[in-house]
Amino acid sequence: MIATPPIRAVPSPPVIELVDLHKVYRVGVELVHALQGITLTIQENEYVAIMGPSGSGKSTLMNILGCLDVPTGGDYRLRGQDVSRLSQSKLALIRGRQIGFVFQSFELLPRTTALKNVELPMTYSGVRHRRRRALEALKRVNLLDRAHHHPNQLSGGQKQRVALARALAQQPDIILADEPTGNLDSATGEEIMAVFDSLHAEGQTLIIVTHEDHIARRCRRIIRLIDGRIVLDTARGDVWSPTTPTLTAAPAGAPVPSSTEGTP
């Protein structure tokens, strides 16, 4: 375990606290170490980009953060609550109430209006005034006029905005977006990022997985994964530049040296 010295006074528990998180997949007889000891703290209203080459474990990390999956080792505390060993149905409740997920491929229900899609998480968590809250969320992503359209009547960017409205309608503790602009052209991607920016300005905590530097640059903190390890975290004072072929600073398997830890 890595002892993290208290750096500044934290009024409330961090939104996310990962300690030495591991995830091992078993494929036949082979073991795939997708995450190899992730230690990470994310505070309220942080705006984080997670980068890294394909297969580096970004989606695996997001799935665990989103309580879609459980780690095989280590601890995950979401707003101070240990969620790494909860039952399936408890995890489902947390997904419904505390997490807003945005996917690369939108994942809207076909044959269902935008409004109903936005209401969906609330039907499972049993929130009241679903319709009103869904309409408010659609208003925030500027799609109020498309509330009664079906997904096949919407453009890619509009679909992703509906998905965003669905994620934020319940005011989750955190919004997780796994390559939200991956299926969109750059102009539409900018459009989506503008919404993320404004959510950040309103105090929302956001984590976005992305390949694109210009997207990452909009975020306040960049974390880079390679082979299931954090090799760069601008919150530690690491300097990130899109041109420097980022760090093989720590060789795979070795613990991250504590000297690199600190605050910017």
Partner 1 sequence: MRKLGRWLWAGVLFLPHLIGSVVRSVPTALVQIWANKIRALLTVLGIIIAVTSIITVVSLVEGFGNYVTNFLRGLGTNMMIVYPEWVRGPRGEFLRRAEMDIDDIHAVDAGAPAIRRTSPLVWSSATIEYGRQQVTNVQLRGTNEAFQPIRNFYVDAGRFFGAVDVENGSAVCVLGREILRKLECDESIVGDYVHLDGQRFQVIGLLESKGSFMGENQDETIIIPWTMAVKLNPYARTHLAFYVEAMSEPQIPDAEGQLVRILRQRHGIKPGEANDFGAFKQDQILQQFNQVRVIATSVLAGIVSISLLVGGIGIMNVMLVSVTERTREIGLRKSVGARRRDILTQFLTEAVVLSTVGGAIGIALGYGFTHLASLHPDMVEVTVPLWSVLLALGFSAAVGIFFGIIPAFKAAIIHPIDALRHE
Ligand X SMILES: Nc1ncnc2c1ncn2[C@@H]1O[C@H](COP(=O)(O)OP(=O)(O)O)[C@@H](O)[C@H]1O
Binding site residues, partner 1, CB under 8 A:
63, 66, 68-69, 88-89, 92-93, 95-97, 101, 103, 107, 109, 111-112, 120-121, 123-125, 166
55 contributes a contact to ligand X by CB under 6 A:
yes
H-assigned helices in the chain: 58-65, 88-98, 114-125, 130-140, 156-168, 186-201, 213-218
Which tokens is 124 given?
Answer: 């499972």
User: What residue is closest to ligand X based on CB?
Assistant: 59
Least Å distance between CB 63 and partner 1? 6
Nearer to ligand X among residue 53 and residue 80 (C-beta) = 53
Nearer to ligand X among residue 58 and residue 130 (C-beta) = 58
204 contributes a contact to Mg ion by CB under 5 A:
no
220: number of Cβ within 10 Å: 14
Residue indicated by tokens 């474990």: 57
Least Å distance between CB 58 and Mg ion? 5
Enumerate residues 20-49 that contact ligand X by CB under 6 A: 25, 27, 32, 34
Nearer to Mg ion among residue 54 and residue 241 (C-beta) = 54
Handedness of CA 174, 225, 39, 12 (dihedral sign): negative
Taking the C-alpha atoms of residue 147 and residue 135, their distance in angstroms, rounded to an integer, is: 7
Among 49, 58, 64, 232, binds ligand X (CB under 6 A): 58
59 contributes a contact to Mg ion by CB under 5 A:
yes
Per DSSP (E only), the strands in the chain are 16-27, 30-42, 47-51, 73-78, 81-82, 99-102, 174-178, 206-209, 221-226, 229-233
Stretch that binds ligand X, among 2-10, 53-61, 200-208, 216-224 (CB under 6 A): 53-61
Nearer to ligand X among residue 65 and residue 175 (C-beta) = 65
Distances (CA, A) of 92 to 21, 22, 29, 70, 99: 21, 21, 30, 12, 10
Least Å distance between CB 164 and partner 1? 13
Beta carbons within 8 Å of 114's beta carbon, 6+ residues apart? 108, 138, 143, 146, 147, 148, 149, 150, 151, 154, 162, 165
Among 52, 71, 157, 172, binds ligand X (CB under 6 A): 52
Interface residues with ligand X (CB under 6 A) are 25, 27, 32, 34, 52, 54-60
Interface residues with Mg ion (CB under 5 A) are 59
